[in-house]
Structure 1
């Protein structure tokens, strides 16, 4: 015989005095003296009676209590204990808050301020996104061990060694971040995984670069006056990386000095100081020529919006059948400074934006060698333009 259900009405529940009232089907409302109460579902499963709370009244209405009761009655009909199932779901939900994908995103957000451009290019996160999270993203971070990491990175460990190294590094940061959150993780998992994977066979190759003696011919061939060629010319003349050149804003230039914001400088760990670049006469002429293409203050504007992409200059060189890449001109400059000048090491390195010396040494040495660099870059410009005087001599080079 089917038990009657839905015996109560919303008005009857509201008007009821303190006591217990059945809606049928095991659903009860326990009213208090103050008019509040709670909903309780009574069921029989595995030969015993179980009572589970379905929420307080009036926060949970009669209609909502009936829907919730039917959901758990269905669980009973399947032979499961609804209370144990609800507890398991709560535990799983709590664990899901600590999936590797969640921890990785949280770690990324907490480090954005430390990353160039707040990590907007996605380079910090992409090794995780491409090689770790597709297989381990839904795994609770506390469950990840060295075997999981080995299995994920094994396919690229030797063939894409640098990518695999970055992915391993990012994962290690995520594990440390999880530990800081108070989660139980194996902080040695990545080191153990490296032991399982073995020493990488792949050798990192340097970016192909033109010999410094071949730079003048290439520089002088950049004579079409396009945005890409002008950007390449300035990159060569200043020995800077692609990003500072591409994002050069006119308000960064004052006279013959270009001040690159610290956030645009890579490889200057240990300093948050903006970097001054002395502009040779030729570099200033290139900037003047490029101003005709400026948009929103950016000297090397893209076709539709923003600035030219990271690949624009590389593709240009590739179309000319060159294996060398824009970044290689930094090596060209550095080799020239070493082979054709007696410029002090710290002057040549500072020209490239490198931080020279230890923390204590830098604390006492406040100079950025601007005047010495001005002389060196003017001579480098002369070499690129094919003018004489390719040898640079510094007086008392040992002490500058």
Structure 2
């Protein structure tokens, strides 16, 4: 029999071993998630059913204490006592668990299904910051007014408040499933929150929450931007002409670029919707990148002060606000600028326009079958937009305004 290559867990290495599951003796297991979360569990079989009892986070419960808890559970089994049922009953009769402790454990499990770092950061902020008014409350004492108190500070932010409400509901649903609170959920929208929460502000006419520049002002803006020699100005140009999201350009590496085919290749880990993405590069962008490649000093196309890290997104935003003189404009808004230009000035196919933005149209079934990249069609659309954006403006060049 092949010998196991997994390290033996002890009091010194249990916080440093890589992702995996490790038996520690006496039915004790250490589970280390890909995200770094690590938890103790006690596994046993009772009446032919395999069960698992969580013993807490390994960052809180030390190795020796976890072994003691496992031995105690084994003694209960020897006396024909189900350790998990006994513990749960004790919790129900003595006191309910606190929301904060339970929510942290729930997050460690739930975030293993979130592949994008931004989604994990958003979840952590909801649990630790937005849910702060709930964290010290026992799960079985949380009422609708407590949920309202947590949501009110962010209620004016439609997406944030919606995500927070949905996560709070999921946490309380999990608490109900573990018998830590009654079956009613105070975060349910239809029965609890909708009748009492104030109406939220409308989104307005701007697509999403990102204010966009009028496409007719884009050529003058690009003309002024071209006079600024900074690397961050070039990063902003690339972001605009490739219709990319800011973090994608920040993390652009030379190995992602194919100058011969004028393509920017990204893995699913680099994209928002976790689908493989290849972006046609307009001639203007390829020309700049090819020249910059000769003088590269980092793996990143746009390195930050530390060559091992990418450029900050704030430097691009700084140029945008200085040139346009509008502090509400966002870099992400240029995607809407393109969308409006394509709708108002061209006859390109709607589906290809959306594909240029890496939006895959249709329901879930359609999306599952849409694996084509439409590189040639997208290249025509994106080159037309790049030609429009970099043409000589009909009005004078925008002056750079003081910050």
Q: TM-score range by the shorter chain?
A: 0.5 to 0.7
The root-mean-square deviation of aligned C-alpha atoms, in Å, is 3.0
Aligned positions of 1:3-82 closer than 5 A: none
Of 162, 169, 188, the match for 2:166: 169
| Contact 1:162 1:204 (C-alpha < 8 Å) held by counterparts | no
Query: What is the SS of the residue equivalent to 1:277?
Result: strand
Find the counterpart in structure 1 of residue 197 from structure 2.
198
Any stretches of 5+ residues in structure 1 without a counterpart?
A: 1-58, 60-86, 389-400
Correspondence for 1:216: 219
1:82-93 matched pairs, under 5 angstroms: 91=91
Relative to the length of structure 2, the TM-score reads 0.65
**CA-to-aligned-CA distance 1:122-141 (integer Å, 9 cap, x gap):** 222213322222x2112232
Whole-Å separation in 2 of the counterparts to 1:287 and 1:319: 25
Structure 1 length-normalised TM: 0.65
**C-alpha deviation, 1:92, in angstroms:** 9.2
1:343 to 2:348 alignment: yes
Asked whether the 8 Å contact 1:145–1:186 carries over to 2, the reply is: no
Shift of 1:212: 1.3
Equivalent residues in 2 for 1:286-305, closer than 5 Å: 286-291=288-293, 296-304=298-306
Change in Cα spacing, 1:299 to 1:166, as seen in structure 2 (3 Å) is same
256, 260, 263: which is aligned to 1:252?
256
Q: How far apart, in 1, do the equivalents of 2:290 and 2:94 lie?
A: 60
**2:282 matched to which residue of 1?**
280
Structure 2 distance, partners of 1:142, 1:293, is: 62
1:219 is displaced (CA, Å) by 1.4
Question: For the residues of structure 1 that align with 2:139 and 2:258, how far apart are their CA atoms?
Answer: 50
List runs of 5+ in structure 2 lacking aligned partners.
1-67, 69-86, 394-403
Question: CA 1:379 to 1:94, structure 2 compared with 1: closer, same or farther past 3 Å?
Answer: farther
SS of the equivalent of 1:208 reads: coil
Counterpart of 1:372 in structure 2 is: 377
Displacement of 1:330: 0.4
* Residue 144 (structure 1) aligns with: 142
Inter-partner Cα distance in structure 1 for 2:370 and 2:121:
35
CA distance in 2 between counterparts of 1:235 and 1:362 reads 26
Partners of 1:294 and 1:193 in 2: how far apart? 58
In structure 1, distance between residues paired with 2:203 and 2:367: 31
1:328/1:118 CA distance change after superposition, 3 Å: closer
Classify 1:381/1:183 alpha carbon distance in 2 versus 1 (closer, same or farther; 3 Å). same
Bigger Rg, structure 1 or 2: 1
Distance, in Å, in 2 between the alignment partners of 1:93 and 1:119 is 40
